[in-house]
Structure formats: C-alpha cells, structure tokens
Amino acid sequence: MTRTLDPATRTWLIDQGFAPAADAPWLEALTHGSFNGSGPADAADYQRLEFLGDRVLGLSVAAWLFRAGDAPEGKLSQRLNALVSGATCARIARGIGLQQHIRLGKQARDDGGADSDKILGDVMEALIGACFIQHGFDTAQGLIYRLWAHELEGDVGKAKPPKSALQEWAAGNRRMAPLYEVTDRSGPDHAARFTVRVSVRNVGEAEATASSKGEAEKLAAKAFLERFG
C-alpha cells in the first residue's frame, strides 16, 4: 500500500494552499478507515487529525466572528455552529474538488463514500489538522479564512429561526435531533399557556412558556442555544 502522495494529489494540495512537506500527515488526513488492510503501518486514518482540525477550525472561526462585530453570544454561537457544521465543511470540500483525492476502500467508493457529506466534512477537518501539525496555527488559520471567505462574509448562520438553528447545531455537533415536549398547559382556552421542554440527548434541556405551543418551542430552542450553544 502506497505511503507516498500520488503526484496528482500533491499538486492539488499545493494548488489549494496546503503546502505539503512530509507526506505522512496528508496521507493520514485523506485516508478513510475502509482503505486500510495490510498491516499496522497502514492503519492510520483521518480520525485523529479530524479531531484536531475541528478544534483549529472552531477557534479560527470564533476569533473571526469576535473581531467582526459586537454581536451577543447567542448570535455568535449560532453563526459559529453553522460555519463549522459538517454540511458547511462538505460544501467547502466539494468546492475545492476534494472528492477524487480521498483514499477509500472499493466498497466504500462504490457506495458513494467520496460524495458523502459526513466523509467530506471529516476529511476537510483532517486536512486542517494536518496543516496545523505541519505549519502551525497561523498558517492553518490563514488557510481557513481563505477557504471560508465566502461563508464568513455571507449569511450562513444569520437570522435563522431558533428551531432551525438548534436542528443545525445538533447535526453539526453530531447529536440526536432535538426533542420537544409539552410539559404543562394552563389557563382557559382563550388564554392558554404552554410550557415546552426541548432536550438534546447527552447535552441538556431548556424550557419556555408562551401563549402557543409553537411560540413556546421557539423560545425553548432559543434558551437552549443560549445555554449550550
């Protein structure tokens, strides 16, 4: 199994600004678990670098948002979660043609793994991790700002309804979908009050009360994002 970068992949990495030096971190970043097989030396896949790249991406985007204005924490969190979500990472990955450079096993490739949002997003983060390992934080941050420029300057994560924002936050953080429950209804029909609890498994919950179920759900989602987002 090859332990050196394919010439076409090396050229692509250079063209995208990743500036590969040693091959090992880039091979690891581009390797899906299905590609492994022949021995321990071939076992490294992108998961560890993805873990690292996710943190580098989050800090870089958070710093950009903090410097870009005086938005309150809730709105900063809403935009951050949208900008670093798996869907956004996958969109960036497609934009730079990452699909053809991912090292996948035959079955995973035949199953469409090269165009999977999950795999594309993970490999994009792994490449950021490899850049950080090889060139340091400033270079990795500069790369992120260039690749994410359109997203950062655009409307991603802005003015999104709280329920949609919470749904996106949960997906972006690989959590189960939010669960909404009416925990109390009081008052006469013409002036009813609904209390709704929203919860995300293994994260937490928040409650809100309003004159309609829909409004209570919206307020509960907003409270959840302010507390945990």
CA 220 to CA 59: how far, in whole Å?
A: 27
Domain ranges of the chain: 7-153, 172-228
Average pLDDT over residues 78-107: 92
The dihedral sign for the CA sequence 58, 124, 36, 171 = positive
- Given 3.30.1360.120, 3.30.160.20, 3.30.70.20, 3.40.1350.10, which CATH number is that of 172-228? 3.30.160.20
Q: What is the mean pLDDT of the chain?
A: 90
CB hemisphere CA count around 146 (13 angstroms): 12
Q: CA angle, 144 as apex, 142 and 148 as ends, to 5°?
A: 125
Q: Are 49 and 131 in contact (CB under 8 A)?
A: no
Q: Active site includes 125?
A: yes
The rounded percent of the chain whose pLDDT value lies above 70 is 94
106 band by pLDDT with thresholds 50, 70 and 90: confident
Distance CA 173, CA 14 (A): 30
Strands 204-210 and 179-186: unpaired
Based on the residue annotation, tell me whether 54 is a catalytic residue of this protein. yes
Mean pLDDT of 139-163: 87
Pick the CATH number of 7-153 from 1.10.1520.10, 3.40.50.880, 3.20.20.70, 1.10.150.20: 1.10.1520.10
Burial grade of 83 (CB within 10 A; 0-12, 13-18, 19 or more): buried
Residue among 54, 122, 151, 217 flagged as catalytic: 54
Least confident of 42-51, 68-77, 152-161, 162-171: 152-161
pLDDT-based confidence at residue 40 (cuts at 50, 70, 90): very low
Which of 125, 151, 168, 217 is flagged as catalytic? 125
Find the radius of gyration of the CA atoms of the chain: 21
Residue 26 has pLDDT above 90, yes or no: yes
